[in-house]
């Protein structure tokens, strides 16, 4: 028979995964920022449509990663609140 | 000597190659792990779970990965259009190869290098589960069933299995893993097996030196659920009717010995991508049936023994009934999903129907019956224990006390 401690441990384990994911997202964000800066410098002066499309795609990726961090923070808070109420 | 243009090209190519697809993929994998674990842990909770937020996070990560891949393609196109090709570094592979699933199946079942069955692109999750349940005890058949599954179907089934392994009896799950997994999956390492058992038991996995291969975890989870289903011990069905009178209809049946896996979402899921969330089902039984019945079940005569898949049976059947089984006469076994009953039906133990259920003759349910969706019973209905209907239920015909009636229940009844 499962105990509350076991449920909390499972929630903690799940949140550890989420925390690892957040670290990976932050690392991705850092590399993405470097890529955007490097691309801006490398293609400065270019009006090529592929360059514009690439920059737009990178901006979208940045937005998605930021939103991912927001919702994972919400999920962690929700899980911690639930675990505390057990 | 390199030209200025080559210098620009090299910078752009490096930027494209260094885009953080691997990091985004790793983040998504962690989120999926967390989602599966939370879903399994909080399965019975009615409180708002954090899993929808985690699913949303995965969607954002998938979108980010798509945007990054698009950016890389645009940079490659730019290089090609300005006349510089071949200077771009080899793209970094992100994600598993298309054959990763079957490769791991071969490795775990010790069938590496042997002819592989073709992938059955139209295979549904129910069908895969049925094949695996049937193959428990036969490693070659197990390998054939798993290797023929499209990876998306395998992953989707694994996600559902993770939330369906019996949390009420962790010791039994562990015994099953100890007795079955080494023979069925000789290539599975002990750390991965322990992780699967821990997840099934809803406890935190022990700290591991290295992270288990997620594909191995997925395959082992499916096999463990199937083996656990086959090894499930008998349990006496509840025998009280709605009117409070004793009911021994299910007592003599062979039900309960091999309950099929109770998968949160059932239905006809086909290859093309993992699915999540409850799926609809449809339950009809055409003749006397008793005991748990699982999946799409139709039986044409009494049948006994494990039944699964798109199976038509013309002999007595009882025991584990997998998906897509048709029964037109007395049958026993857990029923979840598509079942039709055209005759008396008695269910001992727990019956879960996701979707719609129709019974055209006396129906007796001992234990707990849960119907998500709609349920219709034409004839007599007797329910002992607890009945839950999410959605609506119609019952017409004689009441247990002999009087005719028609009842309609909305919400929880």
- In B186-324, DSSP assigns E strands to 282-285, 289-290, 298-299, 311-312
**Phi (first) and psi of residue B383, to 5 degrees:** -125, 120
Query: What's the pTM?
Result: 0.40
pLDDT (average), residues B120-142: 87
CA R_g for chain B? 25
How long is chain A? Answer: 86
Cα within 13 Å of Cα(B364), Cβ side? 25
Q: Quick check: B37 and A7 CB within 8 A? A: no
Tokens read off for B50:
């954090």
Question: Residue B71 above 50 pLDDT?
Answer: yes
CA distance B42 to chain A (A): 8
Q: Which of B71, B78, B170 to mutate: most A Cβ within 10 Å?
A: B71
Q: Quick check: B57 and A10 CB within 8 A? A: no
Of residues A34, A68, A82, nearest to B57 (C-beta): A68
Question: Residue B382 above 50 pLDDT?
Answer: no
Of residues A2, A42, A50, nearest to B11 (C-beta): A42
H or E stretch at B389 = strand B381-398
Closest CA to B148 of B119, B122, B107, B125: B119
Report residue A72's pLDDT band, with 50, 70 and 90 as the boundaries: very high
Question: Residue B204 above 50 pLDDT?
Answer: yes
pLDDT of residue A18: 93
Contact list in B for residue A61 (CB cut-off 8 A) is 24, 64, 67-68, 71
Q: Which of B57, B172, B206 to mutate: most A Cβ within 10 Å?
A: B57
Question: Residue B25 above 60 pLDDT?
Answer: yes
CA distance A44 to chain B (A): 10
Contact list in A for residue B68 (CB cut-off 8 A) is 32, 57-58, 61
Residues pairing with B364 in the sheet: B346, B382
Pairing of the two strands B363-378 and B381-398: parallel
Q: Is B13 on the interface with A (CB under 8 A)?
A: no
pLDDT (average), residues B15-35: 90
Distance between CA atoms of B325 and B301, rounded to whole angstroms?
A: 12
Question: Residue A4 above 80 pLDDT?
Answer: yes
Residue B318: alpha-carbon gap to chain centroid: 22
Tokens read off for B107:
């490795």
Cβ contact B258:B306 at 8 Å:
yes
Q: Quick check: A20 and B30 CB within 8 A? A: yes
Exposed, middle or buried, B35 (CB in 10 Å: 0-12/13-18/19+)?
Answer: buried
Q: Coil, strand or helix: which one is B10?
A: helix
Q: Quick check: B34 and A9 CB within 8 A? A: no
Q: What percent of chain B has pLDDT over 70?
A: 46
Q: Quick check: A65 and B170 CB within 8 A? A: no
**In sequence order, what DSSP letters do the residues of B19-71 get, joined into one string?**
SSHHHHHHHHHHHHHHHHHHHHHTTT--S--SHHHHHHHHHHHHHHHHHHHHH
If you count residue pairs, one on A and one on B, with CB atoms under 8 Å apart, how many are there? 178
CA distance B124 to chain A (A): 29
pLDDT, greater one: B182 or B282: B182
CA distance A70 to chain B (A): 8
Q: Which of B7, B78, B94 to mutate: most A Cβ within 10 Å?
A: B78
Task: Measure CA of the first residue to CA of the last residue in chain A; give whole Å.
Answer: 16
Contact list in B for residue A58 (CB cut-off 8 A) is 19, 67-68, 71
Q: Is B41 on the interface with A (CB under 8 A)?
A: yes
Question: Residue B212 above 70 pLDDT?
Answer: yes
Closest CA to B160 of B129, B134, B138, B187: B129
CA distance B114 to chain A (A): 36
pLDDT of residue B202: 64
Distance between CA atoms of B295 and B263, rounded to whole angstroms?
A: 9
Residue where the block lists tokens 């962790």: B170
pLDDT, greater one: B12 or B369: B12
pLDDT of residue B165: 62
Q: Quick check: A50 and B167 CB within 8 A? A: no
User: What residues contact B198, with CB distance under 8 A and at least 6 apart?
Assistant: B204, B205, B206
Question: Which chain A residue's Cα is nearest to B11?
Answer: A42
Q: Coil, strand or helix: which one is B91?
A: coil
Q: What is the DSSP letter of B121?
A: T
Range in A28-32, B88-92, B104-108, B178-182 with the lowest mean pLDDT: B88-92
Of residues A20, A39, A74, nearest to B53 (C-beta): A74
Q: Is B388 on the interface with A (CB under 8 A)?
A: no
Question: Residue B185 above 90 pLDDT?
Answer: yes
H or E stretch at A77 = helix A49-85
Q: Which residues 158-187 of B have a C-beta within 8 angstroms of A?
A: 167-168, 170
Q: What percent of chain B has pLDDT over 90?
A: 10
Cβ contact B326:B289 at 8 Å:
no
Of residues B53, B167, B205, nearest to A78 (C-beta): B53
Q: Which of A1, A16, A17 to mutate: most B Cβ within 10 Å?
A: A17
CA distance A60 to chain B (A): 6
Contact list in A for residue B203 (CB cut-off 8 A) is 2, 6, 9-10
Q: Coil, strand or helix: which one is B398?
A: strand
**In sequence order, what DSSP letters do the residues of B295-354 get, joined into one string?**
SSBEESS---S-B-SSEE--S-B-S-B-SSEEESS-B-S---SSBEESS-EEEEEEEEEE
Q: Quick check: A24 and B202 CB within 8 A? A: no
Report residue B33's pLDDT band, with 50, 70 and 90 as the boundaries: confident
């Amino acid at each position: 028979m499962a105990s509350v401690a076991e449920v909390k441990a499972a929630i903690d384990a799940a949140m550890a995964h989420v925390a690892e994911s957040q670290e990976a997202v932050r690392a991705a964000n850092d590399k993405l920022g470097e890529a955007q800066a490097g691309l801006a410098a490398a293609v400065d002066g270019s009006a090529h449509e592929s360059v514009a499309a690439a920059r737009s795609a990178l901006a979208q990726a940045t937005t998605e990663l930021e939103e991912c961090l927001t919702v994972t923070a919400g999920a962690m808070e929700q899980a911690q609140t639930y675990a505390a109420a057990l | 000597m390199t030209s200025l243009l080559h210098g620009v090209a090299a910078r752009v190519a490096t930027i494209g190659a260094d885009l953080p697809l691997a990091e985004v993929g790793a983040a998504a994998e962690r989120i999926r792990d967390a989602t599966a674990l939370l879903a399994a842990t909080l399965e019975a909770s009615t409180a708002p779970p954090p899993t929808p937020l985690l699913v949303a996070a995965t969607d954002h990560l998938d979108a980010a990965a798509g945007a990054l891949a698009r950016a890389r393609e645009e940079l490659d196109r730019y290089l090609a259009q300005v006349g510089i090709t071949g200077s771009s570094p080899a793209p970094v592979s992100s994600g598993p190869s298309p054959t990763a699933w079957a490769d791991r199946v071969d490795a775990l079942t010790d069938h590496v290098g042997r002819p592989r069955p073709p992938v059955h692109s139209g295979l549904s999750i129910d069908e895969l589960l049925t094949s695996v349940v049937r193959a428990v005890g036969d490693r070659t058949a197990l390998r054939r069933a798993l290797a023929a599954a499209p990876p998306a179907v395998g992953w989707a089934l694994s996600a559902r299995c993770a939330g369906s392994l019996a949390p009420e009896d962790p010791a039994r799950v562990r015994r099953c893993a100890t007795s079955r997994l080494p023979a069925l999956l000789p290539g599975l390492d002990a750390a991965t097996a322990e992780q699967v058992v821990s997840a099934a038991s809803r406890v935190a996995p022990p700290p591991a030196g290295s992270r288990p291969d997620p594909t191995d975890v997925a395959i082992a989870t499916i096999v463990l659920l199937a083996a656990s289903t086959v090894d499930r011990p008998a349990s006496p069905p509840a025998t009280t009717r709605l009117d409070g009178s004793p009911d021994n209809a299910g007592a003599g049946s062979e039900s309960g010995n091999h309950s099929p896996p109770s998968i949160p979402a059932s239905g006809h899921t086909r290859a093309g991508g993992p699915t999540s969330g409850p799926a609809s089902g449809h339950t009809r039984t055409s003749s006397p049936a008793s005991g748990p019945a699982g999946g799409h079940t139709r039986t044409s005569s009494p049948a006994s023994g494990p039944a699964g898949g798109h199976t038509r049976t013309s002999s007595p059947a009882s025991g584990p009934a997998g998906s897509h089984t048709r029964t037109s006469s007395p049958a026993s076994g857990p029923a979840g999903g598509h079942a039709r009953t055209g005759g008396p039906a008695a269910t001992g133990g727990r019956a879960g129907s996701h979707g719609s259920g129709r019974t055209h003759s006396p129906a007796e349910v001992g234990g707990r019956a849960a119907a998500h969706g709609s349920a219709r019973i034409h004839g007599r209905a007797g329910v002992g224990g607890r009945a839950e209907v999410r959605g609506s239920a119609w019952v017409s015909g004689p009441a247990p006390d002999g009087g005719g009636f028609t009842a309609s229940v909305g919400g929880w009844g």
